[in-house]
Amino acid sequence: MKSFWIPLLAVAAVACQSTSSVHRAFPEPITQDERMAWWRDARFGMFIHWGLYAIPAGEWNGNKGHGEWIRETAQIPVDTYEKFQPQFNPVKFDADAWAQMAADAGMKYLVITSKHHDGFALFDSKETDWDVMNTPFARDVLKELSEACARHGVRFCTYHSIMDWHHPDYLPRRAWESRPAAGANFERFEKYLHAQVTEVIEKYKPGVMWFDGEWESTWNHERGVALYQLCRKLAPAMIVNNRVDVYRGGMGGFSDSDQAVGDFATPEQEIPATGMPGVDWESCMTMNDHWGFNRVDLDFKSTEVLLRNLIDIASKGGNYLLNVGPRADGTFPPESVQRLAEIGAWMKQNGAAIHGTTASVFDALDFGRCTVRVGAKKTKLFLHVFDWPKSRELVLAGLGNKPRRAYLLAEPKRELKVTSGDGRVVVRVPEVPLDPIATVVVLEVDGAPIVYKAPVLEAESSEFVRALEVRLAETNPALDVRYTLDGSEPVKGSKRFTGPLTLSDSATVKARLFHDGKPVSQTTERRFERVVPAPAVEAAPSESGLFVERFAADWDAIPADLAGLQPERTSVATGVTLAGARDEHVALRIKGFVDVPADELYRFALTSDDGSKLWIDGALVVDNDGLHGAVEKQGARALAKGLHAIEVVWFNKSGGAELRLRWAQPGAPFAAIPESAFKH
């Protein structure tokens, strides 16, 4: 599996530093795949949100719906919130008990808040007195827990918030806060952030640095890269999540920008419908409705839901980071303890079907999910049965491997009858399941998995001007893909797909999978059109750059008609940039011409936070509208050499602010449009 973000490999490949004896149980890898190997193998981890917010336990002035965001959601002044510090005394905190519960639940790593958004540090920080050592407890939570995790075979990891509501130099201030922003210096705060991150990494050697709070307007891609580089320099073997940067694209957690840094995606409170092949990702989710402890929140998910979440995520190639919000006394809520124990009982019998597995080779199974472990000579397919079949048959359509044996994972000596033929395998199961939540049936087959799926045709666009390269998505080398260009059905004697196919004329490409000369899949069909590029406009702009209008705008989306808007001011920019407009409730309209160097189909990548749209010659090319974080959307348009009218509209309602436009010709990567190409 590939990591999704550019990991600055030149930095990551630096020889690993020695670690303290506490962490020597985990040898330091030096390559990117080795660095990610333990995390990919783990599949299951514990998230812990703990801090001063556990003291009010979700209640303030009669409102009982708060959590770890209580300082913000209850609008508590900083001096009032500081009064929780002398009350923090979790005398029942037992690091070994926490680590043991994680290990017993089958969790291979633990991520705890070294610092949440309130800025309070759970470790001994030389950078501030706003930490656990200046409480009645006066014990370094991270030190004790990291040592306990090492004793119990659990990787210790840390969550660290970029946002900091307490530090006097952090900006922006909360909208409701009376504390003045005058004199605050965000660059000075950034140095503080780097210093604390350095402390955490050097003192506690976390396996993962899990950042958060990157969405406010003061944080940007350049700051994210700098923080990521710091982590890579200090700990080449450490993993860093994508929230160090601004491109995670909302709660879905996946960035489609090739500029983003970070090692894995972070969908929050959701499981991607189909996973993300080739991408490292982790779903972080709560047991109830809050991350931090809320004493009245008893809406805990059942053990069945939690376990099936774990199985579903593993079957899609992801990791499950399940949260616990400890109480102010240092103990886990009993509901969490119960569920961890019940999950652990299942994992003791079936953990081999989770740890060290990869995503399912099937698109869908009507009875449940599948995880996979591929060996040198055989593959184990772990069939997680949620709905026990009345027919007592598990049918695996499209599986081309010869079966070896089938058995129940919890009772490996209990052999099950298995038959195969006509491109399917059938496993005969007992009348009743062993486990009502998920009974795991193991099917062993010869070699690597061979599954008959219709081939996938890939191309940069369905249109082209001169030539177009059509590729085939990765398929099993034991299978043949035959294709035609005239719309006829592929047969055994049709041309074999052996590499990228270059089209110079319009064509209907049809492709089908063959095994030992027999068709074994549906036919894939895709039409590709050679088009005439839009003509250049007859214009004679005299100035370089683009004309920019700035508006006051409290938008949720770009209005259909901008004609009646009066700009606050106008200016000229060197290209499609924010032109200094990084504040909130603002919009820009950027207009002019772009000089296209050749007749070709141009792809455009528009990144923005919040919404944006790109028009060329009056035609909408990229629609990236709406309220969201830094998200990249793409579009294409065939353009003739010469000048073309360009217009970009962008707005930011609140939070972070980003705007960037790039282009690419066929076969080339996206790149910044030269400033010399813009005229007005």
503-526 pLDDT per residue, tens: 999 999 999 999 888 899 999 999
Q: Flag whether pLDDT at 8 surpasses 70.
A: no
Among candidates 668, 660, 644, which has minimal Cα distance to 594?
644
Q: Cα separations (Å) of 313 from 34, 209, 462?
A: 22, 21, 33
CATH fold, domain 457-530, is Immunoglobulin-like (2.60.40)
Segment 7-21 mean pLDDT? 33
Q: Flag whether pLDDT at 570 surpasses 70.
A: yes
pLDDT band at 419; cut points 50, 70, 90: very high
Cβ atoms within 10 Å of 129's Cβ, excluding its own: 9
Segment 14-24 mean pLDDT? 33
Q: Flag whether pLDDT at 5 surpasses 50.
A: no
Of the listed ranges 16-20, 158-162, 222-226, the one predicted with least confidence = 16-20
pTM value is: 0.86
Q: Cα separations (Å) of 314 from 5, 105, 647?
A: 20, 16, 44
Q: Flag whether pLDDT at 350 surpasses 90.
A: yes
pLDDT band at 10; cut points 50, 70, 90: very low
Higher pLDDT, 579 or 295: 295
Kind plus residue range of the DSSP H or E element containing 592: strand 586-596
Distance of alpha carbon 371 from alpha carbon 314, whole angstroms: 7
All CATH 2.60.120.1560 domain ranges of the chain, comma separated, are 546-679
User: Is the Cα dihedral 94, 98, 99, 105 positive or negative?
Assistant: positive
Cβ atoms within 10 Å of 376's Cβ, excluding its own: 6
pLDDT value at residue 75: 97
Among candidates 413, 440, 441, which has minimal Cα distance to 426?
441
Residues with Cβ within 8 Å of residue 266, at least 6 apart in sequence = 241, 242, 243, 248, 253, 281, 282, 284
Q: Flag whether pLDDT at 413 surpasses 50.
A: yes
All CATH 2.60.40.1180 domain ranges of the chain, comma separated, are 368-446
Enter the CATH code of domain 368-446.
2.60.40.1180
pLDDT band at 28; cut points 50, 70, 90: low
pLDDT value at residue 541: 79
| Structure-token pair, residue 415 | 């052999």
The DSSP call for residue 395 is E
Among candidates 481, 508, 506, 509, which has minimal Cα distance to 495?
481
Q: Flag whether pLDDT at 668 surpasses 80.
A: yes
Cβ atoms within 10 Å of 253's Cβ, excluding its own: 23
Say if residues 443 and 393 touch (Cβ distance below 8 Å).
no
pLDDT value at residue 1: 42
Residues with Cβ within 8 Å of residue 235, at least 6 apart in sequence = 17, 201, 205, 206, 209
pLDDT value at residue 561: 87
pLDDT tens, position by position, 254-279 = 776 778 899 999 999 999 998 888 89
Enter the CATH code of domain 9-353.
3.20.20.80
User: How much of the chain exceeds pLDDT 90, in percent?
Assistant: 83
Say if residues 469 and 502 touch (Cβ distance below 8 Å).
yes
Distance of alpha carbon 327 from alpha carbon 329, whole angstroms: 5
Task: Kindly give the pairing relationship between strand 439-446 and strand 378-385.
Answer: antiparallel
pLDDT tens, position by position, 201-253 = 999 999 999 999 999 989 999 999 999 999 999 999 999 999 999 988 777 77
pLDDT value at residue 16: 33
Higher pLDDT, 539 or 395: 395
In the sheet that 501-503 helps form, which strands lie side by side, from edge to edge? Answer: 457-458, 468-472, 501-503
DSSP string, 18-38: P--GGGTTSPPP-SHHHHHHH
Residues in the chain: 680
Give the CATH class of 546-679. Answer: mainly beta
pLDDT value at residue 13: 32
Winning range, highest mean pLDDT, from 190-199, 450-459, 542-551, 667-676: 190-199
Distance of alpha carbon 48 from alpha carbon 292, whole angstroms: 8
In the sheet that 671-672 helps form, which strands lie side by side, from edge to edge? Answer: 631-639, 600-609, 658-664, 671-672
Distance of alpha carbon 654 from alpha carbon 633, whole angstroms: 20
